[in-house]
Chain A
């Protein structure tokens, strides 16, 4: 059975959960990052015009997911950018990645909300019975 990589949001009373699903852990992390951008704006209107390189490390794969999302939140905040394409490479608990995106334009992207941080709430990184990987947590907005 082929696994279609995809992302979704799941509800949290005050905020929102991001979930990435993929055939590999890397794909699940990439999809979770897409879900993160989709909290802010429509992914289709974010052009993958510029690329940046990122890395982070954490003691376990769940903390690594939170770190990955937090690195992206930091880059969005300090570069004033949005990202719509990701390539993640994992080696143990070290993550290196590329993210493609463009500068935020308020009039075009109409960002719905700014994300404050990724949390450990509803945090899960695991392989499911159908062999697909899921990577999820709630983000504070």
Chain B
């Protein structure tokens, strides 16, 4: 991207002044080199978002921003319902509440090394991964609605995990305002076989080791120490969320002119928050958030069952669970006043700073854990939300490495079997149903997650706490 198109506000903050139909400026957080590498489509998309009705303060892009659908992936935008603000199905995306959770294990590297192959095989056997895989849980219509209203809380009530897990999930594990009635029968049918499944693409379950601790006092509050073994799970709301995204995107595209909304890009399909369609979407989208939270909770339970067999001394309490693709009602300071806003994060992580009332007491002094997934063979990071981030971007941070090249290109560059053999040479075991899937997700197809995390840290969006490296990766 041509950096001459930006006003540089600081080392890591770049602005685009409003032009044309833009209602607010754009703010991109990135190092100069990350910005130069960003696709020019990010510029187009982040400025398109700035044209939407009721947008507050600015249209933001995180350091991992890349070409998405309507919104850039890594896009954040908040809307004021009282000012005619909108909710956008495109701004949330298809994989509603896709996110990451990290579990402690209490284990050290030598414990895992002894049983590594057995552990990898047992996890691969227990965790349904890839297209066409099915879960063991079938919900009837009543149970489906209860799950969509209850989220991870529903899962815990049905024996998947414990009450203690819930405090470590955004919204206490249960998104309020979910309305299962707004979820179509098709969406529910698409979920029928998919409870407790990982999905495919960039979704994974990893066994990881903490290699570096950068902020010892925060790491201590998170219960993270150098050398610790942790488990991270990356997945979303599965077929139900995809179907809700699909259906409401179409409805909003068709309805937009009736609301007097001129869409700069059809993928930005939206409706006023206060409209019937807007409210219906919010009810359905929140149900999909609960579906994602329940799904990650069930996968957590399956993981714990595997550890109980292979490494029975392990205990796997939840460190935290974050969601990436959401629209949430939050209070933020705007022009010196607290305001209720609908904050869209598309491929961006909520990153509440210290003292935020939504954080559990044990984490409140240090800020929210922000879990950043890297690519298969590289590293992931644990960060913490900051007060500065609350002021700069409505408490938001990056969400991952972001692709550096298309799947098409990756397939030309790598062979799945060879990627697996190479990673095994580096001590990383991959288990996946598809060699082609592995090639498309090759580590080299992603940007350097460290550069993204450093930019988020330097920009003040979130503070770097620890780095982890993968030991085992179950890939969909």
Q: Enumerate chain A interface residues (CB-CB to B < 8 A).
A: 9-16, 40-41, 58-59, 63, 66-67, 70, 73-74, 77-78, 80, 104-106, 109-114, 116-121, 123, 138, 140-141
> How many angstroms from the CA of A99 to the CA of B434 in the assembled complex?
25
A119-B69 contact given A66-B250, A110-B433, A113-B201, CB 8 Å threshold: yes
Query: Distance (Å) between the CB of B281 and the closest chain A CB?
Result: 15
Which residues 111-159 in B have Cβ within 8 Å of A in the complex? 130-134
Which residue of B has the minimal Cβ distance to A14?
A: B403
B408 at the interface (CB under 8 A from A): yes
Interface pair A113/B242, CB less than 8 Å apart: no
Which residue of B has the minimal Cβ distance to A104?
A: B132
B413 at the interface (CB under 8 A from A): no
A120-B266 contact given A16-B408, A110-B436, A114-B476, CB 8 Å threshold: yes
Most buried by B among A41, A74, A114: A114
Interface pair B250/A117, CB less than 8 Å apart: no
Contact partners of B267 in chain A: CB under 8 A: 119-121
Which residues 183-218 in B have Cβ within 8 Å of A in the complex? 186, 189-190, 192-193, 199-201
Q: List 19 A-B contacts (CB under 8 A).
A: A11-B406, A11-B407, A13-B405, A14-B67, A59-B254, A63-B254, A77-B242, A80-B132, A114-B201, A117-B249, A118-B246, A119-B69, A119-B94, A119-B249, A120-B70, A121-B69, A121-B70, A121-B265, A140-B94
Which residue of A has the minimal Cβ distance to B440?
A: A112
Sorted nearest first, the 3 A-B pairs with minimum C-beta distance are: A11-B406, A114-B131, A104-B132
Contact partners of A14 in chain B: CB under 8 A: 66-68, 73, 402-403
B309 at the interface (CB under 8 A from A): no
Interface pair A120/B437, CB less than 8 Å apart: no
Extra pairs beyond A111-B200, A120-B69 (20, CB < 8 Å): A9-B408, A13-B41, A14-B402, A15-B406, A15-B407, A16-B408, A58-B250, A67-B250, A80-B193, A106-B130, A106-B133, A110-B436, A112-B437, A113-B407, A113-B440, A114-B199, A114-B200, A114-B476, A120-B249, A120-B269
> How many angstroms from the CA of A110 to the CA of B464 in the assembled complex?
38
Interface pair B434/A117, CB less than 8 Å apart: no
Interface pair B250/A13, CB less than 8 Å apart: no
> How many angstroms from the CA of A40 to the CA of B175 in the assembled complex?
33
> How many angstroms from the CA of A59 to the CA of B252 in the assembled complex?
13
Interface size on B, residues (CB 8 A): 52
Contact partners of A106 in chain B: CB under 8 A: 130, 132-133, 433
Pick from B133, B239, B253: contact of A120, CB below 8 A: B253
Interface pair B437/A13, CB less than 8 Å apart: no
> How many angstroms from the CA of A38 to the CA of B200 in the assembled complex?
16
Contact partners of B435 in chain A: CB under 8 A: 110
> How many angstroms from the CA of A141 to the CA of B361 in the assembled complex?
38
Contact partners of B134 in chain A: CB under 8 A: 80
A141-B133 contact given A119-B69, A120-B267, CB 8 Å threshold: no
B180 at the interface (CB under 8 A from A): no
B454 at the interface (CB under 8 A from A): no
Contact partners of B41 in chain A: CB under 8 A: 13
Pick from B239, B403, B476: contact of A77, CB below 8 A: B239
Query: Distance (Å) between the CB of A84 and the closest chain B CB?
Result: 15
Pick from B39, B93, B242: contact of A13, CB below 8 A: B39
Query: Distance (Å) between the CB of B202 and the closest chain A CB?
Result: 9
Which residues 391-409 in B have Cβ within 8 Å of A in the complex? 402-403, 405-409
B245 at the interface (CB under 8 A from A): yes
Query: Distance (Å) between the CB of A117 and the closest chain B CB?
Result: 4
Could you mark each residue 43-80 of chain B with 1 if its beta carbon is under 8 Å from any beta carbon of chain A, else 0?
A: 00000000000000000000000111110010000000
Contact partners of B408 in chain A: CB under 8 A: 9-11, 16
A117-B246 contact given A13-B67, A16-B407, A78-B192, CB 8 Å threshold: yes
Query: Distance (Å) between the CB of A135 and the closest chain B CB?
Result: 16
Interface pair B253/A63, CB less than 8 Å apart: yes
Contact partners of A12 in chain B: CB under 8 A: 67, 406
Interface pair B403/A13, CB less than 8 Å apart: yes
> How many angstroms from the CA of A7 to the CA of B390 in the assembled complex?
47
Which residue of B has the minimal Cβ distance to A119?
A: B69
B95 at the interface (CB under 8 A from A): yes
Query: Distance (Å) between the CB of A69 and the closest chain B CB?
Result: 10
Contact partners of B295 in chain A: CB under 8 A: none
Which residue of B has the minimal Cβ distance to A10?
A: B408
B386 at the interface (CB under 8 A from A): no
> How many angstroms from the CA of A80 to the CA of B433 in the assembled complex?
16
Contact partners of A123 in chain B: CB under 8 A: 266
Interface pair B201/A141, CB less than 8 Å apart: yes
> How many angstroms from the CA of A32 to the CA of B94 in the assembled complex?
20
